[in-house]
Structure 1
Amino acid sequence: MASEQDMILFRVEDSVGIITLNRPEKLNAVSWELAEELSQLLISLRFNDEVRTILIHGAGRAFCAGGDVDFISGDSDRPMPGTSDPSRPIPRSQRKTPGGPFFEVARQLIYVDKPVIAAIHGPAVGAGLAYSLACDRRFGDTTTKMAAIFTNIGVAPDCGMSYFLPRIVGLPNALMMVETAQIFEAERCKELGLLDELVEEGKAYDAALDYAKSLAGRASVAIDMSRRMIHMSAQGATLEDILDYEGIAGVIVASTNDAREGTAAFMEKRKPEYKGN
C-alpha cells in the first residue's frame, strides 16, 4: 500500500515507464508538491534508457481534477501570487514564474523526448486536461469527462492550455471551451479530438498500456527523433529549419543498431528485433 506521501507512483513494465498520479481522495488534484515530484521524474526519465515509452494515469476515480484548490485560493503553505495575502513572502523564483512546477510539468511532457501516452478515466479538467493534451495520444473510457474549466472559478487557462488546446481542437472550439468552461462527456470528447481512442468503461489503462508497449518495441531512437521534429514543426519551425534538422536527424538515426537491424530485416523479409539503441 502506498503511504500518504506517495503522491506519484512509478514502475517499469516491458520498457514502459508507468506514472500513477496518486491523490485519489482529491481526484488527483495537482498540489505544488505533486507537480514538483512529477516534473523531476519526467526530467530524470529523459535520461533513463530503460524506459522507451511513458504512460500516465490516475489512481481512483479520476485522471486529474486540475490544480489543488487550496493552492489556487492562496490558502496553502505555498503562497500563490495574485490570490495570497500580498504581505506573505514569495520565493524569488516563483515571482518570475508564478506557476512554478505546475508549468514545468507541461514543459517536460514534451521535453522528456519519449512518447507519452495518457490513460484517462473520470474527470480530466483544468491542469489535468492541459497535461493530457501535452501527451502524444489519449485513451479514454466512457466515464471520461473533460473541460477547460478555468473560467468557472474566475481564473485564466494555464499549464500550457492556451498552446495545446487550439492545436488539437481548432481555434473556434478552443475559444468555446475556455469561454464557456463546459464539461464534455466521453463521446463529445472523442468528436472534438480531445480523446484519440474511446474504449469501454475500465479499459482505458489496458488499451493505453498495449499501445505504449507496442511503441516501446519499435526503433526508439528513430521514434524519439521523429517526435522531436513534429514538435519543432508545431512550435513554428520553418520548412528550411525542418529540412536541415531532418538531414541531421537522419544521419544520427542511421548510425543506430536498430537502423541496421531494420534495414537487414527488410531485405531478409523477416520481423526486426529492435533493442532501442
Structure 2
Amino acid sequence: MPDTYKYLTTRIEDNVGIITLNRPEKLNALSWELAEELATVFYRWRYVDEVRAIVLTGAGRAFCAGGDIDWISGDSDRPMPGTSDASRPISRSQRKTPGGPFMDATRQMIAVDKPIVAALHGHAVGAGLAYAMVCDRRFADTTLKMSAIFTNVGVAPDCGLSWFLPRVVGLPTALMMVETGRVFRAEECKTMGLVDELVPEGESFAAAFEYAKTLAQRASVAVDMARRMIYMGQTATLEQMLDYEGIAGVIVASSLDAKEGTQSFLEKRKPVYRGI
C-alpha cells in the first residue's frame, strides 16, 4: 500500500489521520484522480488501528472549489457521460456509475467508521461543500465561502449533497441553497448551521486537529460504534435501532477500553484508553 499520493498528502499524528487535498493551483478542485485517491485513503484507514479520528482539509487558499470544470465540461482526457461526445469510449464501470470515485469518496467517508473533522477555509463549494457536509463536525475560519454552486453551471448536486445537506441545515434552507446557488460567507455559514465552529483566519486546522485529538483519546470502539448507530438511525425504524443498540452494546462491552472505563470509574481516576 503506497504511503504517498499525487493529489493529496496524508500523515498520522497523535492517532489522528490528516488528509490534505493538494491541488492548490486549482483551489483543490476535484479531478477524477484526486477523487480516486481520496476514496482509497478512507478505505485503507478503516483498517489502520493507529488512526482513531481523521481531519480533512485543503492546501493553499481553499478547502475545495468543487469538481474540476475541465472534467465536468466533457473536454478532458477522461470522458464524462452526458457532456462528452457520445462517440468517445467509456469504460463499462464508468458507464454504470458515471460519478465513479466522486461518489465513492462519500461512501468511504461513512464506511471508514471513524470520526471525521473538517478544517475549512476559502472556498468549500459544490463537491467541496458535499464532502464538508459528510464530516462529523466542521471548523472554519473567517475566509470561508460555501455554496451549492451546481445549478450556477447547469449541473445537479452530487457526492451525496442531496442526502446530507437537508439533514444538516433543514429542508427549506437546503432547497434555497441548491435552487439559487448563492455563495455564503463565514458568519452566514455559522448562522445557517453549515459550520459548527468559527475561528479566526488561519486557525481552522489547529482547532479541528485539537478536537480530533480529544476524540482519538477516547474509547475508540465505543465512539466508532456510536457514530455508526447515529447514521443507521437516519433510515432505520425505532424497533430496528433498539435491537441493534442491544447487539452493539454487547460488542462494545467486550472491548478492553470498556473494562478500563468502568474500572477507572470505580477507582475514581481518569481512564487511559488504548483504542481496543
TM-score range, shorter chain: over 0.9
1:135 maps to what in 2? 135
Partner of 2:159: 159
Counterpart of 2:74? 74
Instruction: Give the TM-score of the pair, scaled to structure 1.
Output: 0.97
What is the distance in 1 between the residues matched to 2:6 and 2:140?
Answer: 25
SS at 2:81 equivalent: coil
Gaps of 5+ in 2: none
Aligned partners of 2:194, 2:121: CA distance in 1, in Å? 13
Q: How many residue pairs were aligned? A: 273
Q: Distance in 1 between matches of 2:129 and 2:154?
A: 17
Distance apart, 1:28 and its partner CA? 0.2
Per the alignment, residue 213 of structure 1 pairs with: 213
User: Are 1:116 and 2:116 matched, yes or no?
Assistant: yes
- Determine the structure 2 residue equivalent to 1:232: 232
Give how far 1:252 is off: 0.5
Q: Using the aligned pairs only, state the percent identity.
A: 70
Structure 2: distance between partners of 1:177 and 1:111: 27
Q: Name the structure 1 match of 2:180.
A: 180
Pairing 1:1-277 to 2, within 5 Å after superposition: 6-234=6-234, 236-277=235-276
CA distance in 2, matches of 1:256, 1:233: 23
TM normalised by structure 2 equals 0.98
Taking only aligned residues, the RMSD between alpha carbons, in angstroms, comes to: 1.0
After superposition, the C-alpha distances for 1:218-264 in whole angstroms (9 at most, x for unaligned) are 00000000000000011x10001101110111000000110000001
Q: What secondary structure, in the 3-state scheme, does the structure 1 residue paired with 2:233 have?
A: helix
SS in 2 for 1:211: helix
1:66-116 Cα offsets, whole Å, 9 max, x none, are: 000110000111100000000000111111110000000111111110000
- State how far apart, in whole Å, the 2-side matches of 1:229 and 1:154 are: 36
Structure 1 runs, 4 residues or longer, greater than 6 Å off: none
Shift of 1:44: 0.4
SS at match of 1:18: strand
Structure 2: which amino acid aligns with 1:48? V
Q: Which runs of 5+ in 1 are unaligned?
A: none
Q: Deviations over 1:141-182 (max 9, x none)?
A: 100000000000000111101000000110100000000000
